[in-house]
Amino acid sequence: MSSPTQIKSDSTLQEVQTFLEDYGQRTLLRFTTVGSVDDGKSTLIGRLLHDSKSIFEDQIATLKGESKQNLSDEQIDFSLLTDGLKAEREQGITIDVAYRYFSTPKRNFIIADTPGHEQYTRNMATGASTANLAIILIDARHGVIEQTQRHSFIASLLGIPRLLICVNKMDLVNYSEDVFDNIREQYTNFATKLGIVDLKFIPISALKGDNVVEQSENMTWYHGEPVMEYLEDVYIGSDRNLVDFRFPVQSVIRPDHTFRGFAGQLASGRIRVGEEVMVLPSMRRSKIKEIHQFDKTIEQAFASQSVTITLEDEVDISRGDMLVRPRNVPHSENHFESMIVWMSEVPMDPSKTYVIKQTSRQTKANVLDVRYQVDVNSLSRNKVDHLNLNEIGRVAFRTNLPLFFDPYKLNRMTGSFIMIDPLSNNTVAAGMIIDRVPTERLREESDVALKNRNIHRHEGSVTQVEREAKLNQKGVTLWFTGLSGSGKSTIAGALERRLFDLDKNVYRLDGDNVRAGLCGDLGFSRYDRKENIRRVAEVASLFNSQGTIILASLISPYQEERDSAKEIVGEERFVEVYVKAPLETCEQRDPKGLYKKARAGEIQNFTGVSDAYEEPTDARIVLDTEKLSVDECVDQLLDLIDELS
């Protein structure tokens, strides 16, 4: 028979377990408070904590004592709860971000009290970056001011899905409904410019407690809920992206030879045991074998959960890789544009190489262009060449390794990153990715840049006609295109030998050779491939202008890019040669072992396997290497060159 002490102990344990289960099932709302200096942000938070009974009695006693220095009539200065720094209390302003945690029977809360001064923009951006909601305070006496507009712009920039507009200090305007209505109309008109649609307006007095936790008797004309009730009931379930599965791998767990797991936090989406996943960048596929969470296994995991995943197959995965669904993949690019909040006292140096950390992936990055800097008070755009402390601007980047990202407006986790100065190791900026840089736009802007620099071509004293007459040949470019293994380089090499033996001035631009030098800084994204072809075409055009025959052998898989090369070289000098061979034949030949690596997932965006090849529709000559020998192909090309001469 159990003793009374044992029964009481068991009862207490049961109560604790019940409380913990109830606590764990409550939803978590992260919100931030922003507003101009002395709008009452810290006072509102203090009032929420006090009236929700989240302050200990000894804290209240201390506050009453300290409040006598500032207030009378036994009032409590609630701002002292969050203005924790000595400098803040002395100046009566918020400098740093103050986080506070409290709970009600309905929900758990994390509050970020952020500064209102313009020079602390970086602090505000930090506090608001993970918020589900922003409370913007407006002083009823002053209405919508520049600071209000600035904070609203930053909130919309950070993708905060909903705004609660608290018109504070209503007690100082005699709780006037007209004042409240005018401010609501004024702010709504401004918010439409930013595309903010989820707005809630509540008239309050944080100092007096009107409409903070309890309904105000001084504003009977307001029929909505008070602030606390709104915070408890506002729906945030749609904030989590449960559609796009993104699992950045943070570490590989290998306690012994029998277990290989991949640990990380689900950035978005959900996943179940048995579902198929694909690994980026290798593009290898497998299925989820187990999902581990702490000391147990679970059947499925959701966004924001930290888990360890095991796969059914042995796949080479490292930190910085990402698990996704095969038919729902993020952008994989090393060129993109983003909105940047510059957070360093050292100005941005566009000529400097920085480090970008996005999810668990880290790579070196360079600034391609500062598109503009935003005046956060007037929302005007200013053309600048760098950003200073607390400035916000739109910037184009190029990274050494591709990033796996979604636009920030669709996925705040995979669409955000930080910039690090590799010398000081300081975080210098926070970024929100807009989207990849359109290739056409880059080309247009580079053309404009050329014109703006007043660059003019000089023909020189020796004309192209004179050069060709002396060499007794016409400068043309034979552009060999086809799958890897089709025979492009072999035929081009044999043709070069024959032309040289015929005393022709000839030079071969091979794809691999070009990428080893001239295009060594480029990867294999769509943009980089186009840039690779552009550079080769420009070089070919220069050689042609002095009478040299160019043999350019590149896969060049897209018709658009081959047409672009033709435009650069000149239609009358550009000869498209399609070296034709079926994919199966090329894969059997596989002279460099590339197909084998691509099938194993070791090469990303490989033409014919994981990327497309667009067959030429109007090639000048087609060489079928399944039917023709190398010599037969060379003979046909020599006849063609004679025709062109």
pLDDT-derived band of residue 446, with 50, 70 and 90 as boundaries?
Answer: very low
More confident residue, 289 or 559: 289
- Which residues share a beta bridge with 478? 551, 575
> What is the Cα–Cα distance from 162 to 156, expressed in whole angstroms?
9
Q: What does the pLDDT average to over 565-571? A: 92
Helix (H) or strand (E) holding 154: helix 146-157
Non-local CB neighbours of 327 within 8 Å, separated by 6+ positions: none
> What is the Cα–Cα distance from 104 to 118, expressed in whole angstroms?
33
- The number of beta carbons lying within 10 Å of the beta carbon of residue 158 is 24
- pLDDT tens digit string along 34-59? 877 677 777 888 788 777 666 655 55
> What is the Cα–Cα distance from 126 to 122, expressed in whole angstroms?
6
- The number of beta carbons lying within 10 Å of the beta carbon of residue 604 is 18
> What is the reported pLDDT for 491?
96
Non-local CB neighbours of 209 within 8 Å, separated by 6+ positions: 47, 51
In the sheet with 477-481, reading across from the earlier edge strand, the strands are: 506-510, 549-553, 477-481, 574-580, 621-624
Among 445, 339, 430, 349, residue whose Cα is nearest residue 393: 339
Percent of the chain with pLDDT over 70: 82
Among 107, 159, 108, 152, residue whose Cα is nearest residue 132: 159
Task: Please give the backbone phi and psi of residue 522, each rounded to the nearest 5 degrees, phi first.
Answer: -100, 150
- The answer for 547, left when phi > 0, alpha when psi is -120 to 50, beta otherwise, is left
> What is the reported pLDDT for 77?
59
Q: What does the pLDDT average to over 92-116? A: 71
- The number of beta carbons lying within 10 Å of the beta carbon of residue 238 is 8
Q: What is the DSSP letter of 436?
A: P
> What is the Cα–Cα distance from 504 to 525, expressed in whole angstroms?
36
Q: Is the per-residue pLDDT at 610 higher than 90?
A: no
pLDDT-derived band of residue 66, with 50, 70 and 90 as boundaries?
Answer: low
* Domains of the chain with bracketed CATH: 17-239 (3.40.50.300), 246-324 (2.40.30.10), 339-441 (2.40.30.10), 464-644 (3.40.50.300)
Tokens of 378: 């007037």
Percent of the chain with pLDDT over 90: 46
Q: What does the pLDDT average to over 185-207? A: 88
Tokens of 585: 């034949």
Helix (H) or strand (E) holding 21: helix 4-25
- pLDDT tens digit string along 399-419? 988 899 998 888 889 999 999
Mean pLDDT of the chain: 83
- How do the residues of the chain divide into helix, strand and coil, expressed in percent and rounded to 5? 35, 30, 40
Tokens of 616: 């030429």
Among 553, 575, 564, residue whose Cα is nearest residue 483: 553
- pLDDT tens digit string along 280-312? 888 889 999 999 998 899 999 999 899 999 999
pLDDT-derived band of residue 579, with 50, 70 and 90 as boundaries?
Answer: very high
- The number of beta carbons lying within 10 Å of the beta carbon of residue 60 is 13
Pairing of strands 276-280, 285-293: antiparallel
Q: Got the DSSP string for 171-200? A: GGGTT-HHHHHHHHHHHHHHHGGGT---EE
The CA-based angle 245-246-252, given to 5 degrees, is 125
- What are the b/e assignments for 489-528, b being 16+ CB within 10 Å? bbbbebbbebbeeeebbbebbbbeebbeeebeebbbbbbb
Q: What does the pLDDT average to over 525-546? A: 87
> What is the Cα–Cα distance from 588 to 486, expressed in whole angstroms?
10
- pLDDT tens digit string along 620-637? 999 999 999 999 999 999
Question: 25: burial class by Cβ within 10 Å (0-12, 13-18, 19+)?
Answer: exposed
Q: What does the pLDDT average to over 199-216? A: 92
Q: Is the per-residue pLDDT at 65 higher than 70?
A: no
Q: Is the per-residue pLDDT at 89 higher than 60?
A: no
> What is the Cα–Cα distance from 546 to 95, expressed in whole angstroms?
66
Q: Is the per-residue pLDDT at 203 higher than 50?
A: yes
Length of the chain: 645
Non-local CB neighbours of 612 within 8 Å, separated by 6+ positions: 557, 558
Question: 236: burial class by Cβ within 10 Å (0-12, 13-18, 19+)?
Answer: middle
> What is the reported pLDDT for 622?
95
